[in-house]
A = this chain, B = another copy of it.
Amino acid sequence: MLPWNVELAGRLDRAVISSDLLRDNPLGDPYERPVWVYLPPGYDDDTDTRYPTVYVIQGLTGHLGMWANRSPFQQPFIETADAVFASGRAPGCVVVYVDAWTAYGGSQFVDSPGTGAYHSYLCDEVVPWVDARYRTINHRDSRAISGKSSGGFGAMITPMLRPDLFGALATHAGDTLYEYCYLSEFPKAARALRDHDHDILRWWEDFRSRTPFSRPGDQSLLVALVSSACFSADPDGTPRLPFDPRTGVLRPEIWQRWLDWDPVRMVDRYADAVRSLRAVWIDAGTRDEWYLDLGAEAFRAELGRVGVPDERIHLELFDGGHGGIDHRYPLALAWLAQRLAR
């Protein structure tokens, strides 16, 4: 294996979508967005075949360009995904890499006055754009969404909100059980705010002026800021923290706005959508630093409770933490590719 140069068996198109929905977004982020569309081997040969589509989204602080990052002794997902199809492990799919980055590091794939209409951008602009340009099977039973961490969150909620578009999903260490994955960051964030007059926007100003993630609490504060902007922004876009920035005491009504976005808690409200899913891949590492393995079990238990048949669910807890789990992605991709309608 050469580490620095690999030929794909399929083909990767790199394009830009000019979004109407993201124009005038509150953070002033670009509305021209990159999108990468992968066509599997054979796509250009047999021009009659149409393919299921798997949408792939990034985790927090991730943007599209990072899919091309290279690591020691490992291939990036673009190549391991290509190998899934090139090796014949699964029938070909179109794979669409979507960008939903914001200046705060992410959008959580929701529509929010704090960040922009990223959920709608994905569903109402990217999906039609892809279907108009590529030989996809334009049907929810042939369309899946997949991601890790915040991307796993996005993969869980998007089909709940839009079962007309997505009929399958894969979540790797997806954010859920917020009392463990999010709440544990709040005291660290509150502590770190002592150096910033208990004002997260002062911290943000400081953060942007220096080497990022070089001070204790940076990670916790970034999570608090971006999620407040996504889950609990005021109508004018101001992010509202779910805790008192001095004492850390929870603000119940704001915290509830976050909890309303907790996938484990959403299943019940979106039970019909959830029951319509034909394939759900759930995995997480048993040493996940945000306890998303427990989140995975809790999410899976809720699926069962509302009546999703066992055979449509794959739950797997593997030996690992939250980072360095890219090797899981092609496993889920192959599993989805075998289950999407053709």
Contacts and interface: CB of A to CB of B under 8 A. Distances in A.
B72 A4 contact: no
Tell me if A's interface is mostly helix, strand, loop or mixed. Answer: loop
Interface in A232-262: 244, 246-250
Nearest to A16: B5
Contacts of A99: 4
B211 A327 contact: yes
A247 B292 CA distance: 10
Interface in A144-190: 177, 179-180, 183-184, 186-187, 190
B248 A291 contact: yes
A105 B72 contact: yes
Interface string A48-66: 0000000000000111111
Interface residues of A, number: 55
A34 B65 CA distance: 21
B66 A70 contact: yes
Nearest to A292: B187
B4 A211 contact: no
A120 interface: no
A208 to B, nearest CB: 8
Nearest to A210: B327
Interface stretch (A110-118, A133-141, A269-277, A293-301): A293-301
A61 B34 contact: no
A46 B58 CA distance: 43
Contacts of A88: none
Given A99-B4, A248-B291, A298-B247, A70 B61 contact: no
A129 interface: no
A191 interface: yes
B247 A294 contact: yes
A294 B187 contact: yes
Given A34-B4, A63-B3, A99-B4, A264 B293 contact: no
A151 to B, nearest CB: 14
A5 B65 contact: yes
Given A99-B4, A264-B249, A62 B72 contact: yes
Question: Lowest 10 A-B CB distances belong to which pairs?
Answer: A61-B72, A187-B291, A247-B298, A4-B65, A73-B212, A248-B294, A69-B69, A180-B187, A247-B297, A65-B70
Given A63-B70, A68-B69, 12 more contacts: A3-B101, A4-B34, A4-B64, A61-B73, A66-B69, A72-B212, A73-B213, A177-B187, A184-B184, A191-B286, A248-B294, A249-B264
Interface of A: 2-5, 30, 34, 61-66, 68-74, 99, 101, 105, 177, 179-180, 183-184, 186-187, 190-191, 207-208, 211-214, 244, 246-250, 264, 286, 291, 293-294, 297-298, 301, 319-320, 324, 327
25 contacts: A3-B65, A3-B101, A4-B34, A4-B63, A4-B99, A61-B73, A63-B72, A68-B68, A68-B70, A72-B105, A72-B213, A73-B208, A177-B187, A177-B247, A177-B248, A177-B249, A184-B184, A187-B291, A190-B294, A191-B291, A191-B293, A214-B320, A244-B298, A246-B301, A249-B301
